[in-house]
Structure 1
Amino acid sequence: MKKIRRTIPLFRAWAALAGVALIAGCASAPQGAGSKGNGWVKDEVSDSYVFGYPLVLMDISREAATGNSPGQAEPNTLRHAQSLPPVGATTPPEPNLDTLASSGWLDVSREPVLVALPDTHGRYADARAVDMWTNVLWSTATKGNERVSGLKAQTIAFVHAGWKGALPARAKRVDVTTRYVWFVARIETRGGGDLAAARRVQRGIRVAPLSAWNGSGKRVAQADPQTGAGLAGDPVAAGAPAAQIAALDANGFFSRLALALEDNAPAPDDPHALKILGDIGVHPGDPVQLPSGTKDAAGVSTGFANGRARVAAPPSNLLAGNGWLWVGDDAGHYGTDYALRAYAAYASPGLPTSRDEARARVSQDSDGHTLNGANRYVIHFSAKQLPPVRGFWSITAYTPEGALDSDASVRVAFGDRNGARRNRDGSLDVLVSAERPRGGANWVPVPKGDFRLVLRMYAPKPQVTDGSWQPPAVERQ
């Protein structure tokens, strides 16, 4: 079997420093496997799929987004979305109609990479850096219940763990254990004429490796002559590669995982999961040798299918209320909760922390029936039940596949920025239908077939993510 191409062996360097023997050195059944019964292969393949899914998704996403093709960018540069997604947009899943995104992939293997954010002068914006296991390393989220009033100018240096050297003055150091980091900044926009103002904020973002930062620590411009910072044009969506994972067989998936593991160290809490990978013949940077006996091959096939189903199934520790589901305080910081991490990567690649955003979904009405555009619905927020946020909130409808309705005449993310009309008692009725209701106020347009709703709450207050607040049910009229 051909040896898998090796790159900088960051994983093995990390493992040596940690002094932990993470993976057994054989590809056959582990010692004492007989005591596990015949199902050990199925169980360990399933567990390993759940464990490795986020890394494989991120690695395929990085590969799709970096390069010289349209929509791509070289590492350590950003691409800036120039417009809101059109009707019918399918990638990323559940396209955002509230913000313009600037995103890029940072390679910190050789030297630190610095990101400078401008003062947004009161315009809502947030930014986050996600490691290759979908953990949020850093974000602009703040504590407290005060209203968010934009970002202040700041510089962040992403540094591979163990690097020693001097950084520019006032740069905040963030240590990284993976070779790559996905950086995303989002700037609020209402679309139309407001897009130009959001683009000006984008042009103030600077990204460069330390060697390209000038001696005084000032931000350097990147090479794009039109924007002065990164590349214009909509970026490749990070969520698009999910279909590539779905097309992989067990050998293809675990081969991809083995290659990605070599450069992207897991957390120190993960040696048991990595030992299980070794049991089934998956070692960082080496060709995969999955169990191949007749019974074992059947176990691999069954376990692989089981792992896929587990990744797509909402875990039991999601927050739930009135048919809505959302990730609570653990968003972006999963620890050893591999099931939650995998589901979050599957449903919302690069999910922010609970202080940055909470994202609730619902696909059934109060009677448990699938939401469908043939019906009309209402979401009644009492005066004390409005989404508790420090930023803003919105509701958007999508097809069951997470796309914007291709037959819609308008793109609407209805929320508190849209002149929501309250009732006399302070309550709010949000109308959900395929056809515009009489008067057209407080309307969320939906597809004519089945659909789901996503409630986004930017800079949510603690009661959103600790479960003490719940969105109201979607009532069929």
Structure 2
Amino acid sequence: MIKNRQELFSLHWTCASLAGLAFLAGCASTPSATQKTTGWIKDEVADSYVFGYPLVLMGVARDAAVGTGPGQAPVNTLRHAQALPPIGAANPLLASLDTLDSIGWLDVGSEPVIVSLPDSHGRYVDARVLDMWTNVLWSTSSQFTTRTAGIKTQTIAFVGPGWQGDLPKGALRVDVPTRNAWMSVRIQSNGTRDLTAVKKLQRAVRVAPLSVYTGETRSASITPPRSNAADAAAAAAASGTPAAQVAALDANGFFSQLAQALPDNPPTPADPHALKILSDFGVTPGDPVNLPSAPEAIAAGLADGHERVVTPPSNLLTGNGWSWFGDGVGNYGLDYAMRAYAAATQPGIGTKDDEMRAVVTQDSEGHALNGANRYVIHFAPNQLPPVRGFWSITAYTKDGALGESAPGRLAVGDRNGARRNRDGSLDVTVSSARGKGGNWLPAPRTDLQLVLRLYAPKPQATDGSWQPPAVVRQ
């Protein structure tokens, strides 16, 4: 499977083929346009879809989240979750039950945006900012210690390309290569009785453009750029998730959004080869797209691209039926396959030091997990999840929703009463029917998936030296 730029742009053709491109390593000459068949169109559309998918997805997610309507917030403002997610199919994909999340979109196009975070007094807080290509620009993970995943009072200045000027004293400067950036602040919650303390911390988080922060202006109103294709896509699939909206785009819609987003959000790292391939079939930054008159090849390439972004790449870590991202997550470089897969399956995922999410859909014998059965996950005494923060396991439907029939306690972990056996081991029982053991994880009465979350994981969780135990049917 594709793992980097070289594989991405050479997997389907070689220098010996008439579809070869002169800029690929080892090519001696450039074939004429008349020598090319429509096969090169299919390959380039598919490769470019994988390349551009995170940027288009982030643009759709931003357009859906920025505003004054229900569930929205103005740019440079955080929208604070006020309660844990409700049970049922309306949940966000793989909603976390361990934290209350504050989400917002930053616009650094005209001036820096200043973020102030409070002292969490030892409570786990994971704050991170991603650029529009889903690379993590900054996070609080470097501040975590072996004893706590709390943070101290701090000020961060997110600065756009080309800006020069003075920042507030003591502010940490973080350069943002794209006009927009996505911010998340997740605060550990210990259940509904703990929400008051969490909300107090939320109110202490401040986000403001530099001019507002320093008092030069009273307010700021900046609207991110939005293309006609984005408006059409939102109107066509407004009720779907951002991933569903992107999947519903035809080739012209997808590449139109990509072309319009590129001027404000150049590839990071810079990749002239990827832009050259895009220009080969009529996609130029900032210009209307002019795709070739080869509808079958374009449709085939689009379908191939759809499949690739949801296909686990070969460098995904696996063990005992579980799969999870390793050390490269969050800072992808030229690993476009991993970047697209992460954006499609775990949007907003951080680095190896921020969080690990391991997913399993089958038991130790390869059968699909189903809440009608009873399973046990046995952690040996020296094999508990290695974290600096905390860990939890949650059961979801195959579609990523919380089961409607599950009771209030929907996660099992070291911060919500998980009990060890006498020898120091720990067993988690998974079933829709209450188990006899103390660590019962309620599951939906259907096919399901389990997600093991490690908050502020230790290195052995992401370098492959530690693996989650198998899910064994009883």
Alpha-carbon distance change, 316 to 393 in structure 1, aligned in 2, over 3 angstroms: same
Look up the equivalent residue of 1:359 and give its one-letter code.
Answer: R
Shift of 1:75: 0.6
Summarize the alignment of residues 235-384 of structure 1 with structure 2, pairs less than 5 Å apart.
240-292=241-293, 296-384=294-382
SS of equivalent residue, structure 1 residue 263: coil
Contact 1:87/1:411 (<8 A) preserved = no
Compared with structure 1, are the counterparts of its residues 90 and 353 closer, same or farther at alpha carbon in structure 2 (3 Å cutoff)? farther
Q: Post-superposition shift, 1:149?
A: 4.2
Find the counterpart in structure 1 of residue 456 from structure 2: 459
The answer to whether the 8 A contact 2:310-2:344 is kept is: yes
Find the counterpart in structure 2 of residue 202 from structure 1: 202
CA distance in 2, matches of 1:395, 1:470: 14
1:268, CA displacement in angstroms? 3.8
Stretch deviating more after TM superposition (412-421 or 362-371): 412-421
CA distance in 2, matches of 1:442, 1:32: 67
1:415 Cα deviation after fit: 0.4
Closer/same/farther in 2, CA of residues 141 and 411 from structure 1, 3 Å limit: same
State the partner residue of 1:443.
Answer: 440
Secondary structure class of the residue paired with 1:251: helix
Q: Secondary structure at the match of 2:165?
A: coil
Contact 1:239 1:349 in 2 (8 A): no
One-letter amino acid matched to 2:125 = A
Please give the secondary structure, in 1, of the residue aligned with 2:303: helix
CA contact under 8 A between 1:86 and 1:411: conserved in structure 2?
A: no
Q: Which amino acid aligns with 1:353?
A: T
Q: 1:410 offset after TM fit, Å?
A: 2.3
Alpha-carbon distance between aligned partners in 1 of 2:67 and 2:301, rounded to the nearest angstrom = 35
Cα–Cα, structure 1 residues 222 and 395, in superposed 2: closer, same or farther, change >3 Å?
farther
What do the CA deviations read for 1:254-297 (whole angstroms, capped 9, x no partner)? 111111112211124422111111111111121111111xxx32
Distance of aligned partners of 1:201 and 1:373 in 2 relative to their CA distance in 1, 3 Å threshold = same
Q: Percent identity?
A: 64
Distance in structure 1 (CA, Å) of the matches to 2:135 and 2:360:
25
Q: Is the partner of 2:104 in helix, strand or coil?
A: strand
Distance across 2 between alignment mates of 1:316 and 1:93: 24
Q: Determine the structure 1 residue equivalent to 2:152.
A: 152
What are the within-5 Å matches in structure 2 for residues 384-403 of structure 1? 384-403=382-401
Secondary structure of the structure 1 residue equivalent to 2:187: strand
Amino acid paired to 1:301: A
Instruction: Provide, for residues 115-135 of structure 1, a one-character-per-residue CA deviation record: whole Å limited to 9, x for no partner.
Output: 000001111111000110000
Query: CA 1:380 to 1:323, structure 2 compared with 1: closer, same or farther past 3 Å?
Result: same
Distance 1:263 1:316 in 2: 32
- What amino acid is the match of 2:271? D
TM-score normalized by the length of structure 1: 0.86
Select which of 460, 465, 470 maps to 1:468.
465
CA distance in 2, matches of 1:59, 1:402: 22
1:407 corresponds to which of 405, 408, 417: 405
**CA shift in 2, pair 1:78/1:342, >3 Å:** same
The structure-2 alpha-carbon separation of the partners of 1:36 and 1:385, relative to structure 1 and needing over 3 Å to count, comes to: farther
Give 1:5-84 correspondences, 5 Å limit.
Answer: 32-33=32-33, 37-84=37-84
Q: Shift of the alpha carbon at 1:170? A: 0.5
Instruction: Give the partner amino acid of 2:472.
Output: E
> Is there any run of 5+ residues in structure 2 with no aligned partner, and where?
1-22, 24-29, 222-237
Cα deviation 1:230-252 (Å, max 9, x = unaligned): xxxxxxx9992111112111111
1:91·1:240 contact (CA, 8 Å) conserved in 2? no
Are the equivalent residues in 2 in contact too, given 1:238–1:349 (CA < 8 A)?
A: no
| Match of residue 134 from structure 1 | 134
SS in 2 for 1:182: strand
Shift of 1:202: 0.2
How far apart, in 2, do the equivalents of 1:44 and 1:392 lie?
43
* Matched position secondary structure for 1:309: helix
CA contact (8 A) 2:143 2:151 kept: no
* Secondary structure at 1:366 match in 2: coil
Task: Please provide the CA RMSD for this pair.
Answer: 2.2
The 1-side partners of 2:302 and 2:53 are apart by: 11
> Match of 2:262, as an amino acid?
L
Deviates more, 1:185-194 or 1:404-413: 404-413
SS of the residue 1:463 aligns to: helix
**One-letter code aligned to 1:161:** P
> What is the CA–CA distance in structure 1 between the aligned matches of 2:144 and 2:64, rounded to whole Å?
38
Q: Secondary structure at the match of 1:459?
A: strand
Off by >6 Å, runs of 4+ in structure 1: 220-223
Q: Structure 1: which 5+ residue stretches go unaligned?
A: 1-22, 24-29, 224-236
Please report how far the alpha carbon of residue 37 of structure 1 lies from its aligned counterpart in structure 2 after TM superposition: 4.9
d(CA) in 1 for partners of 2:447 and 2:383? 27
Given the superposition, is the C-alpha separation of residues 334 and 91 from structure 1 closer, same or farther in structure 2, using an over 3 Å criterion? farther
The structure-2 alpha-carbon separation of the partners of 1:33 and 1:422, relative to structure 1 and needing over 3 Å to count, comes to: farther
* 2:176 paired residue number: 176
Structure-2 change in CA distance of 1:378 and 1:90 (3 Å): same
| Greater length-normalized contact order (CA 8 Å, ≥ 6 residues apart) | 1
Number of matched residues? 429
Within 1, Cα distance between the matches of 2:97 and 2:239? 16
Within 2, Cα distance between the matches of 1:238 and 1:123?
35
- Report SS of the residue matched to 2:347: coil
C-alpha distance in 1 between matches for 2:32 and 2:441: 58
Shift of 1:213: 1.4
One-letter amino acid of the counterpart of residue 184, structure 1: S
Taking the aligned partners of 1:271 and 1:147, their CA distance within structure 2 comes to: 45
